[in-house]
Structure 1
Amino acid sequence: MFLFKKIRYISAVHNTRYMGQQLASFVQFLDAAGARAASLHVVGFSLGAEAAGFGGKELKRRGLLLGRITDPAYPGYSLTGSDGHLAKGDAAFVDVLHTNPGILGFPQPIGDVDFYPNAGQWVQPGCWIDQLIRNRELGFVNGCSHNRAWRLYAESIRNPRGFPATLCRKWKGSRLCNFQVDGYMGFGAGPPLSGKMYLETNQRSPFARNGP
């Protein structure tokens, strides 16, 4: 079963390039119809964001630029250069949520702005098995930390200022990186934000520590 899933994932990785080409063609059609590519925001989770990245690269070759792309995947892309995965430059603004760095998500910054919830832990608060049981969230036992990216982003749509974040080269705790609100993760993010940003979340929904 594990081997079958691995083969399916490898096939899906390969297909993201094709899906990116199809996305580029669709966006080009919308642009010609009046919905400008520069006004569009493509939100993808995991492989979906990689497809968006390939779509953005293809659009640039066609002389168009997407307005914004959010979030990537890691396995199957980690050994490639920026031409082989979502990267800064694939849209006018690329923001990345690193909730499972080094496992199913990129550990290194690859966007215009890269958000690291809870110091970029590879296991997010609330994703340990005892916490999942206590919070009645066993449905998220598979890929809990990875899935946290879309859950945080979905919540930020309702609460754009719910996830205040601070700019810091490397988060090692408040003594080395004093927290101040430099911007917001998720829907509330946008230019001119850039660099690595850190924030803390609750271990269960609502994840935002800033109420709406």
Structure 2
Amino acid sequence: MIALKVCILAALSLSLALAAPPADNNESFDDIGPTESPNAPHCHKLTKSNKYMDTGFWKKFFKHWIPFTSSARVKMQFYLFKRDFPDCGRELFPGDDATLERSGFDARHPTRIIIHGWMSQGKGSLNRDVKSAYLSLTKPKEQLNQDSNEVNVVELPHYEDFNIIVCDWSKISSNVNYFGVADMVEHLGTLLAEFVNHLHMRANLQYDDVYLIGHSLGAQIAGSAGKQIRPYRFNTIYALDPAGPKFREQSDEYRIDASDARYVESIQTSTGLGFEQPVGHATFYPNFGRDQKKCYMYGCSHKRAHDYFAETINSTRGFWGIRCERMSKHNWILLDNDGEFRMGGEPSNPKNGTFYVKTYDKPPYAMGPRERLTEPPAMEPERTTEVYH
């Protein structure tokens, strides 16, 4: 799928890629909004019907292809998944109190909102993997007894339940004109902020119980929503390789930064599509934040950010970072005496600084903590390691 998308994108002329999409006579930013509530509940599944050809995505893609615009009304949709219906999302509609009441949304449970990126969609691997990782924490861990062939519970669930909400904005993200899509981030952030406000007003959702998990342009949308939800604050934003093109030179007012939530943590895995400079309170650089191990296809390192994050949620090993200083693009100083800091995870664990993380080259990627002294000798001088890569 990724290879096919890349081949199509590579075939575009530069002028086409940079052109802004013309507005439809009957379509404006004011038209962006949720779909109308259906009369009957609809089951939204994240599983793909075909491994190699996702028909739904390509229908949306080619609506933007010729004449490079879509007559369809742009939509942002929200699907709720919980322990009792982990594979059958229920659509939520801002302003529709009856549907919300029937949905099973429960403000007593933590709310996690997942936002995909450009050229991705609601059924993408980000949503499938992160949703499943969170809901795995609501189930007991079981182990087969080899002697009796009985299944025994070895660990009780960590959480009673979650409200996992998948934000599907593929009506826009499927547009091949990246820069035209990037221009809509603020409007998409408005829709997301209005949706969360609806849950607050109608279902007693507390903003401090909300995490936003955004990948690529989804991270920029999360930041925009954080700015627009003020004076309230989200608890945490996880920015997974936030989109760099068009945003690197922007001021904090127009891209994700530490002020967008009580705690903002970024996992940066590529420099071509992401950021080199730190973003948020804590920035983790797996494998120095550049080309990830055994990533040979364009976009692979960018995608690896959400692969790592999904694993952080329920990994027994965990991803552990060493505080570091980036002296230049290829010269890093690792501050060995500062201990190690866990990347990602549930719940979030606020920290400040930049951190280097080493991973394996295939799943499971987490290496766990290094062997180290639990209490370093008093007055020991700072130990540093200078690394060139």
Same fold (TM > 0.5): yes
Distance 2:368 2:337 in 1: 14
Over 3 Å counting, the alpha-carbon distance change for 1:96 and 1:2 in structure 2 is farther
TM-score, scaled relative to structure 2: 0.47
Counterpart-to-counterpart distance in 2, 1:161 and 1:180 = 20
Q: Does 1:194 align with 2:352?
A: yes
Distance verdict in 2 for CA 1:23–1:12, change over 3 Å: same
Assess if the C-alpha contact under 8 Å between 1:161 and 1:188 holds in 2.
no
Q: Percent identity?
A: 31
- The 8 Å contact of residues 268 and 286 in structure 2, kept in 1 or not, is answered as yes
**Contact 1:160–1:188, Cα closer than 8 Å, also in 2:** no
Deviates most, 165-174 or 64-73: 165-174
> Where does residue 116 of structure 1 map in the other structure?
285
Alpha-carbon distance in 2 for matches of 1:152, 1:203: 11
Residue matched to 2:256: 86
Report what 1:165 is aligned to. Answer: 321
Deviations 1:35-79 (A, max 9, x none): 11111000010001100100000011xx21111111121101011
Q: How does 1:33-182 map to 2 (within 5 A)?
A: 33-60=203-230, 63-71=231-239, 72-101=242-271, 103-120=272-289, 122-127=290-295, 129=296, 141-159=297-315, 161-170=317-326, 177-178=335-336, 181-182=339-340
Structure 1 length normalisation: TM-score? 0.83
For structure 2, the 5+ residue unaligned runs are 1-11, 20-176, 370-389
Contact 2:269 2:304 in 1 (8 A): yes
Q: Which has the higher strand share?
A: 2
Give 1:6 shift. 4.6
Report the secondary structure of 2:184's partner residue: helix
**Matched residue pairs, number?**
194
* In structure 2, C-alpha distance between the alignment counterparts of 1:25 and 1:201, rounded to whole Å: 38
Partner of 1:138: none
Q: Which has the larger radius of gyration?
A: 2
- 1:160-203 Cα offsets, whole Å, 9 max, x none, are 651011222238578x5327643211225734311101110011
Change (3 A) 1:205 1:179: farther
* Alignment check: 8 A CA contact 2:325 2:332 kept: no
CA distance in 1, matches of 2:359, 2:183: 34
- Select the structure that is richer in helix: 1
Per the TM alignment, residue 146 of structure 1 is displaced from its structure 2 partner at its CA by 0.7
CA distance in 2, matches of 1:173, 1:143: 24
Secondary structure of the 2:361 match is coil
Secondary structure of the 2:294 match is coil
The 1:161/1:16 distance shift into structure 2, 3 A limit, reads: farther
CA contact (8 A) 2:317 2:367 kept: no
Distance in 1 (CA, whole Å) between partners of 2:345 and 2:282 is 13
Q: CA–CA distance in 2 between the matches of 1:159 and 1:113?
A: 20
* Secondary structure, counterpart of 2:221 in structure 1: helix
- Deviation, 1:94, is 0.3
